[in-house]
Chains A and B, each alone.
Chain A
Amino acid sequence: MSEPIIRFDKVVKRFGALTVLDRLDFTVQPGEKVSIIGPSGSGKSTVLRILMTLEPIQEGTIWVDGHPLWHEERDGRLVPASEAHLREMRKLLGMVFQQFNLFPHMTVLRNITEAPIAVLGMSKQEARERAMELLELVGLADQADKFPHQLSGGQQQRVGIARALAMRPKIMLFDEPTSALDPELVGEVLTVIGKLAHEHDLTMLLVTHEMRFAREVSDRVCFFDQGRMVEEGPPDQLFTEPREARTREFLKAVLAPQE
């Protein structure tokens, strides 16, 4: 197997006295599509937020693309990362938020071109062309000049996906991308994410409650509970014959009302 693109090594995350991740070990291979499922409060979002450097960790090490994420190597020792290091590392990752978090005062086009121009130093022309390609990909080429509030939730989330992709990340993080959507708008967003899942090189981490979708698109599913990864495996195995009692319980609870 090749070198993992993401490796959590005994990572501890606390909020005050509350331990949210408890010596977590977790690896993802390049190009792998991984779904994270689990009950509310189990630490799923925290895993993504730590990777996106939105939350620091207290103990352990995380390696992304061969480099420590929250540390820097200096004189052979790992020291806490500087903002400059974090800025470099962030270029590897893109994130799609549950609440979209589009910039409401920017047009759809500007939402997508802002960072490529300001951060990657792309020319306006180039960023615009690239943004239009991405809008084509998410099926919103005709909405480029609208403002977010003029779009439906599903459309806004598709813009959110295009915005993250515009930075050409190697790893895409999706934190419950369809949870804030009306049921009839979920499909259009999942279709776009499903399309991305065919991209061979793109590594994807998806936190979701859409079990059927997780089963379709992922190479591996991880079940989290109380800050630990209780079980992981190929979707067919994990969904049909989970090894752990806790996983069975959870799946029974979430699948029952749907079937």
Chain B
Amino acid sequence: MLFGYEWVTGQGDLAFAASILPMLLLGLVVTIQATVAGFFIAVILGLIFAALRQSRFRVVRYVTGFVVEFLRDTPLLVQLFFLYYVLPEFGIVLPAFMTGALALGVQYSAYTSQVYRAGIEAVPPGQREAARALDLTERRTFTHVILPQAIPRIIPALGNYAVSIMKDVPILSVVTVLEVLNVAKIIGDQTFNYLVPFTMVGALYLVLTLIASYLVRLLDRALPKTGLPLR
């Protein structure tokens, strides 16, 4: 029994599969929650990193660059263990779900900060020069000239990372988060049938990823390539 649902064994795989589907779907909800939370952290933290890398102070730029490089070059699992086992030693005890979302967010912030940077740098230098020649302030240039042109490049790239985050969520099972793979494993441990739950997890992931990728593509196509229009 799990989440108040009973599994049905001895009546064939189909009946078994049908009986565990509600449990897996509950696990899938946790997967999606972790994806959303991790993505949210990655989007915000990445923006902060990107801003710090533009700082006037060289020390800030270097330290940020080092941190981002460090986050990108160390495995997610190492970061996860670090947050889960080391933070409590400093008196910071977070629920497993929060720790997992944080680890995902922190790791992916290294990638999203890169997305912001690339999106901004892809705006041709002539745009900045024209803005300067027209005497627009730095701030106005950024908000009205650079950002509207960078955003249509940034958003689809962020969307792709959201899909990646979703596929990394199962790693959180090692710190007891009850996302969909962990649920499937518990079912397998209890019923000695791993094939059916794991196959179902694979299928659920396939469906989810296809839908998410399709949405990202739609979004990409909906965004005007020349920038968010200003009339």
Residues of A at the B interface (CB closer than 8 Å) are: 52-54, 87, 90-91, 93-95, 97, 99, 101-107, 109-110, 114-115, 118-119, 145, 147-149, 163-164, 167
A105 and B230 contact, CB distance less than 8 A: yes
Interface residue? B229 (CB, 8 A): yes
In angstroms, how far is the closest chain A Cβ from the Cβ of B193? 56
Q: Nearest 5 CB-CB pairs, A to B?
A: A105-B227, A115-B134, A101-B130, A104-B226, A101-B126
Cβ of B231 within 8 Å of any chain A Cβ, yes or no, is: yes
Binding site for A on B (CB under 8 A): 124, 126-127, 129-130, 132-137, 140, 144-145, 148-149, 224, 226-231
User: For A104, what are the chain B residues with a Cβ–Cβ distance below 8 Å?
Assistant: 149, 226-227
Separation in Å of the A81 CB from the closest CB of chain B?
A: 14
Instruction: Pick the contact of A91: B132, B135, B145 (CB < 8 A).
Output: B135
Known: A91-B135, A103-B127, A107-B230; 17 extra A-B contacts, CB below 8 A, are: A52-B129, A53-B132, A93-B133, A95-B133, A97-B130, A101-B127, A103-B130, A103-B227, A105-B148, A105-B149, A105-B227, A105-B228, A107-B231, A114-B144, A119-B136, A147-B229, A164-B133
Contacts of B231 in A (CB 8 A): 106-107, 109-110, 145
Whether the Cβ atoms of A54 and B144 lie closer than 8 Å is no
Closest to A91 in B: B135
A167 in contact with B129 given A103-B145, A104-B226, A147-B226 (CB within 8 Å): no
25 of the cross-chain contacts (CB-CB < 8 Å) are A87-B135, A90-B133, A94-B133, A97-B129, A101-B124, A102-B130, A103-B145, A103-B227, A104-B149, A104-B226, A105-B148, A105-B149, A105-B224, A105-B227, A105-B228, A107-B230, A110-B231, A114-B134, A115-B135, A115-B136, A118-B136, A118-B140, A119-B136, A145-B231, A147-B226
